[in-house]
Amino acid sequence: MTQAEEDAVTAVLRSGWLTTGPRVKELEAAVAAYVTPPAEAVAAGTADRARAETTPLHGVAVSSCTAALHLALIAVGVKEGDEVVTSPYTFVSTGETILYLGARPVFVDVEAGTKNMDPALLPSAITPKTRAIVTVSMAGHPCRAAEIAAIAHHHKLPVIEDAAHSLTARVWDVPVGTQADVTCFSFYATKGVTAGEGGMVITKRADWAERVRRLSLHGLSAAAWGRYDAGGWWEYDVTELGYKYNMTDIQAALGLVQIKRLHEMQARRHAIVSRYDAAFAGRPEIQTPTTRPGIDHAWHLYPIRLHLDRLRVNRSQFIDELRKRNIGASVHFIPIHFHPFYRDKYGYKPEDLPVASGEYQRLVSLPLNPRMSDADVNDVIEAVTDIAVANSR
């Protein structure tokens, strides 16, 4: 956070308008503009699915990416008893929002390199009950949206992308926000752009955007700021069961400044990643993250994979050794089918999703954020190298 974020939030507090209002509208427009394919990409014909050229994108700000996923599922028509095909390699939001609707999450295994859904396995997961596909772009590496869209199109299924990690990610210059029918972003504290908490739905479908907006504020026919504005009117109708998922102007003001700083923050993430890649390239115990050709990686996370056959420690011990050297590391994520609630409810065994289960055992996310100094980066490199060398076999 810089002085600019503090000033923007203070201005909202002084304005007297705290909840959903003009700053939220601005953030919706800013994010929609940010993920609109650049003219050059459209001209070069790389813009995914030609509708991107002429159809403007709609953004609806909500209280979290979890709320965005929940409302996106409703908007595309998921109902009780339906199946929704998704990836196990994600944060639990992706699974739980499907369950909120009484639908069943059906997990498709991932590709080892990116931990994103493997499109080759998708067709066999689709049944007559399937109502939607939810893809995830893990760590900031876009999923195989074009292959998935082709399969979805064949089965007339909508695709929702959980792009919580991937606001700045691109595929052949096309931003992730246009690859799926609906894209959901997160402005949670640790994400690439934060509003403290927050989320956004991006879609080309004006009717879906309108529905999400209505559902995010109790299903009211007119938003509160329209009612209380000069010229506003007191009447409103509740047209369907809604939720309390709106974003505040305090959050949006913070998010707007962060978007302005995004270029600078991303440059720092990329610089840190280059240092890590160079430092670990020659270490046989460590595999650095994969980036497919044509991809601009958002680098939300830097997940290394341990070659466990070349180490005398397992992943947990490796993280413990990092902690002893004062380096905080984590694992993103424990696959959903490992969590007792999902495991017991659906009877999943690790071997049902062998790639996700196997990769999970060897992953370590190293520290990565724009506030890290060069000295911080050196500390991480030294600690990782030291542990790898000391425990090599």
Ligand X SMILES: *Cc1c(COP(=O)(O)O)cnc(C)c1O
Q: Which residues are known to be catalytic?
A: 191
Q: How far is the CB of 212 from ligand X (least distance, A)?
A: 15
Backbone dihedral region for residue 110 (phi beyond 0: left; psi -120 to 50: alpha; all else: beta): beta
Q: Which is nearer to ligand X, 165 or 362 (CB)?
A: 165
Closest CA to 119 of 92, 95, 154: 154
Closest distance to ligand X from the beta carbon of 141 (Å): 12
Q: Could you say whether residue 360 binds ligand X (CB under 6 A)?
A: no
Task: Note whether 289 binds ligand X by CB under 6 A.
Answer: no
As beta bridge partners, residue 107 has 86
Q: Residue 94 interacts with ligand X (CB under 6 A)? A: yes
Task: Give me the least distance between CB of 378 and ligand X, in Å please.
Answer: 28
The residue among 138, 190, 197, 199 whose CA lies nearest residue 166 is 138
Residue 91 within binding range of ligand X, rule CB under 6 A: yes
Q: Could you count the other beta carbons within 10 Å of the beta carbon of residue 191?
A: 21
- The verdict on 165 binding ligand X (CB under 6 A) reads yes
Report residue 187 as tokens.
């402005």
Nearest approach, Cβ of 126 to ligand X (angstroms)? 22
Q: Please give the single-letter amino acid code of residue 316.
A: S
Closest CB to ligand X among residues 67, 171: 67
Q: Which is nearer to ligand X, 130 or 186 (CB)?
A: 186
Nearest distance in Å: CB 73, ligand X: 13
With binding defined as CB under 6 A, does residue 162 bind ligand X? yes
From 23, 21, 86, 14, select the one nearest 255 (Cα to Cα).
23
Residues 178-197 that bind ligand X (CB under 6 A): 186, 188
Tell me the β-bridge partners of 60.
201
The Cα–Cα gap between 69 and 357 comes to 24
Query: With respect to ligand X, which residue has the nearer C-beta, 188 or 225?
Result: 188
For ligand X, how many residues bind (rule: CB under 6 A)? 14
Q: Which of 62, 102, 106 is nearest to 79 (CA)?
A: 102
From 143-151, 159-167, 263-271, 383-391, give the range in contact with ligand X by CB under 6 A.
Answer: 159-167
- Footprint of ligand X on residues 248-277 (CB under 6 A)? none
CA-atom Rg of the chain in angstroms:
22
Instruction: Report the SS3 class of residue 175.
Output: strand
- Helices 249-260 and 22-34, packing angle to 10 deg: 30
Binding mask 49-88 for ligand X (x = CB under 6 A): ---------------xxx----------------------
Tokens of 4: 């600019």
Q: Does 208 bind ligand X (CB under 6 A)?
A: no
Bridge partners of 58, per DSSP, are 203
CB of 289 to ligand X, least distance (A): 16
Reading the block at residue 61, the tokens are 């700000």
- Footprint on this chain of ligand X (rule: CB under 6 A): 64-66, 90-91, 93-94, 136, 162, 164-165, 186, 188, 199
